[in-house]
Structure 1
């Protein structure tokens, strides 16, 4: 067969870049299709108020790297770029607790606790994981609040993918490649500007274009940016994909010129993020291109049982100094909180913030919110008005990212929504995910009272009972068969040959920590089963 590539990888995030690096290492030709744009220090936005360079809504002229997708049950925050979520994520690379392998649909498929440590070690080495060396004011505030709560002993400095340089050296100093024996790119040490989530303009963040993706391209992988996959069809009528696949792509950013192309590949890796891969597989199954995809597709989508809350302090503050997530604590065995920050001037997320509201997550909570706001306006009018104005949010606020290991989930389906009956789309179904974590909210309120600040949460949680998450996981879970999952324990798609899934959609239980390291480690695990490419020897 005449193939364009041995492997075609859809997506360039943690799973896609890891797969591409290991595949090119083994001698395979690799093409990578990425819907987002390629970014550099020169093109990153100065703040997230530059919507056209921060948000991803290409049909509205916004071609940034940060996306929000609103479902009935959850608001999902995720990345869209060459390098995937690594461009906008908060650098945090934590190994989850061991019990996550005994939960969810992957439990019992393998001896994960024996197999995974080696793959975590490979991922940590490639991503340059190290302990945070810069504690900012928000981190010290978190420690004080934890001491006051009685869990101060759980305080820790995060494991992060950031280059800090030599101890005692000037911040921002240039260094030759510090990670890969001179084979990688030059780097600069972190200057603690807090800008990790709006794109690191100082060459200190270990995003994928500095490691896995960098080497994949160096070894021959070809990246096609601003390219969207719209169809995948098995070649030669072989329903299981034995002879490979034909991939159809169009431009993801052009309104008029679609630049439609077709590609042939022997093997295929879906790595388009949890939402992206689910959405694409739903469409391909629905149109009959890949009809054998398991009925388990879209089942057990998890959000890390997450809540975004915070405390806004009065007056001039410097909560923006440090790295995006510099420290964390455990309120209890199930509840994990991290101190999070945006850089000074990047206050756009404040448009989604309001005063924290107690109460059960139902329609009555709206009236409790109104009472809370009126009470605040009467007792502290200046603080109340400030809470409604986003400007100054980044420097005045310590954001508490709360995650739990509780095993709640929703399901996704592909159907016509009542509000948009003209075409099918992915919609969430099932019981609501809790949008209010009482212990975390009480922690924020107690901290606010002690410091004279105001506790806040996302308005979607208060008014609509919809939590937000930056860690959408699952939907293409592992199982023993197609009756229990979409992929097997080696990430191979049931019903097809030469097809794998390597992204957040494969995660099959709530991790309770940021998932990037686990996505990378599980992809390392999947790639360990791919043999070296056989060399064809010509005989004279």
Structure 2
């Protein structure tokens, strides 16, 4: 049997792609876009169907079939699982979990990237990435998903009862309250005024559904799928952009197996589902299987789907880490309800859970790590509690669920009508009686669901049991965490004069998670994780896990943004890698050869100073730091070498707390290697031919949207002393206001000036970052080396002839 399984990868493939992406959630959609944008042939295999605006089911009959089980003829949106200690709800459709998530796009708190945090039963939760590593990629994802905070201070949003109640409870309890960044369009465009029901213009890359979208109508239906298209889901954003750049997106295509392909790369077996079979049982194991080969394979089928695939295909992937299936957690998810809220005078208080998007705000409870406590010294694990709204249909269900009150109202209505008939009452208007029949609706109006999530203990294990996925995880080791969360939720209920109710599942100490994580965790080595910090499977180059399965522990915050940022970071690394395959044309490779390398420089600048040397001195004295991290890319090495300006592109980030904090992405950048300087500042005319400059020009945006340009040069020339290292590692910098071209530098206002350098450890690291792509990589690297050394020889040729001091 095992030999037959391993033969899968040796079957002739039906087709070939540069990259195959399995799944279209937050990890897969980002990967599809990044690779397609880079010009690679990308195929996305998504098992579910597309859901354009207006297609999400709402009627009872449609909702009854809105589940995913192809063997029973169901191809719906929700995929529900039940395991030993918890249940899980995930999505099946184009856009993955973004179709049913509650829109929250939070960054993982910096101190929650824990390291060597002990886990009961052995091992540690260890995040090999940091918040600083992810911040530029959080920025990139936010630019695409365009999160907006709920506009609470503006009508008609200013009377949203549940949001105001959350703020009040946090104030009473002395806890932090925040309006959350939501992937929802309240305003049609950045800077526009928010209002419900406004048309949303399509972005430049279009919309793969071709359907109109409108801003949020505040109907609380986010978790059922947004029929207005107000959610900035992945099908409207990353996947539309990926398709615009040529990605082949295939819905109802379900991956079944994977294996290494002969000669490198991977083969993926998949089946195609047919909606004509909807409502009928299907022998899904008998569906014809097709095969696609690829140079790179990205698994992004979600925590449950990806881990199940890897467990199923373990025999085809020899040497796969024993950590496969470990570090499972539910991201601390817990659901509870408060009911019958009352104000200070004992009167009914409205919480109006169906008004607004599902979630608007959160109360954050700190972690032991937030206080800087060393790992293992405390068991206080942080969490968020968020208002969890619901669609109006849930309010009707809640009211009619109160059978005793409903029967009483029906009885009173019937008696009243009978009395009117007997007495032949002249009163023909019955509005008051009908209002009494419907009731005051206070049960639903005064109720609100609360959703908690945070840092539970990631000690769950996923495995196969008779061919089915099984998860062994219980609330036992996380009981302290859940007890603290339930205590805060009870405190919120008291602040609202409301009753508190655990989920019925909690009676059996079970929870339901919508954020399953882990199973193929990242680590520093195969003994610790299945993948490295860039999602590449240890021992299997070109195979990546870029979804929730790669998390080494709970994100704590809603994990969507972190999964997307990790995927963006991995794709950037892959695209810079020398292992990047050349595009295929008729089965042969061709085109120019590109080269890239990365460098990092650090130093000091002084605001308001125009002279770099003086700026460095004053900046050092005042602690004004500047750091630049760049990837220099020459798309065509032959053209780069032949061009007298030796110009390449520069991308990366600039960090300067004085001008804007954080890592500010380079929006456009250029680099010139050894440009001839015809007018040097401090040498005689006869020395001009031997003088060179390395030139840098970086456009970025600082605090308050201020456009800035970093203009820098390395002055490479021969003067007394052995100064080759100093000249090639020292960058003299001026930061100008505005995005300037060279001709405009002289008239631009100088915001700051200083000096940054490549430190020796960074230089040694830089030597390992040289990458080529396309044919003849080794020859291209040699040509670049000859250019570099030749120019240095021209600049310092007199140094070799200069007599040594004795």
Render the CA deviation track for 1:380-428: whole Å, top value 9, x for unaligned.
Answer: 9759x9xxxxx99876531111122244431112234xxxxxx453332
Q: Which residue is 2:105 aligned to?
A: 93
Change (3 A) 1:96 1:392: farther
Within the candidate set 409, 412, 423, 2:462 is matched to: 412
Q: Which residue is 1:222 aligned to?
A: 248
C-alpha distance in 2 between matches for 1:169 and 1:337: 26
1:97-136 to structure 2, matched below 5 A, reads 97-103=109-115, 107=126, 109=128, 112-134=130-152, 136=160
Contact 1:47 1:346 in 2 (8 A): no
Q: Which residue is 1:193 aligned to?
A: 219
Please give the secondary structure, in 2, of the residue aligned with 1:190: coil
Contact 1:342 1:394 in 2 (8 A): no
Change (3 A) 1:15 1:47: farther
Contact 1:92 1:325 in 2 (8 A): yes
Structure 1: tracts of 5 or more residues without a match: 237-241, 355-376, 386-390, 417-422
C-alpha distance in 2 between matches for 1:274 and 1:408: 13
Change (3 A) 1:538 1:339: closer
Change (3 A) 1:160 1:426: same
C-alpha distance in 1 between matches for 2:446 and 2:51: 29
Q: Which residue is 1:458 aligned to?
A: 503
Please give the secondary structure, in 2, of the residue aligned with 1:310: strand
The higher-RCO structure (CA 8 Å, 6+ apart) is 1
C-alpha distance in 2 between matches for 1:317 and 1:265: 52
Q: Which residue is 1:150 aligned to?
A: 174
C-alpha distance in 1 between matches for 2:59 and 2:445: 13
Shift of residue 346, structure 1, vs aligned partner: 4.3
Q: Which residue is 1:77 aligned to?
A: 89
Change (3 A) 1:202 1:495: same
1:45-444 to structure 2, matched below 5 A, reads 45-46=57-58, 50-103=62-115, 107=126, 109=128, 112-134=130-152, 136-151=160-175, 154-165=176-187, 168=193, 170-177=195-202, 180=203, 182-185=204-207, 187-236=213-262, 243-251=264-272, 255-256=282-283, 258-285=287-314, 288-313=315-340, 318-333=352-367, 334-346=382-394, 397-416=447-466, 423-428=467-472, 432=476, 434=478, 437-444=482-489
C-alpha distance in 2 between matches for 1:22 and 1:381: 57
TM-score (norm 1): 0.82
Change (3 A) 1:381 1:43: closer
Shift of residue 113, structure 1, vs aligned partner: 3.4
Q: Which residue is 2:540 aligned to?
A: 496
Structure 2: tracts of 5 or more residues without a match: 1-11, 118-123, 342-347, 368-381, 409-440, 584-588, 593-806
What is the number of equivalent residue pairs in this alignment?
488
Within the candidate set 530, 542, 545, 1:486 is matched to: 530
Shift of residue 451, structure 1, vs aligned partner: 4.5
Render the CA deviation track for 1:126-167: whole Å, top value 9, x for unaligned.
Answer: 11122222552211222222233232xx11111111111165
TM-score (norm 2): 0.56
- The alignment status of 1:514 with 2:538, answered yes or no, reads no
Shift of residue 172, structure 1, vs aligned partner: 0.8
Q: Which has the larger radius of gyration?
A: 2
Please give the secondary structure, in 1, of the residue aligned with 2:485: helix
Contact 1:93 1:161 in 2 (8 A): yes
Please give the secondary structure, in 1, of the residue aligned with 2:360: strand
Q: Which moved more, 1:399-408 or 1:73-82?
A: 399-408
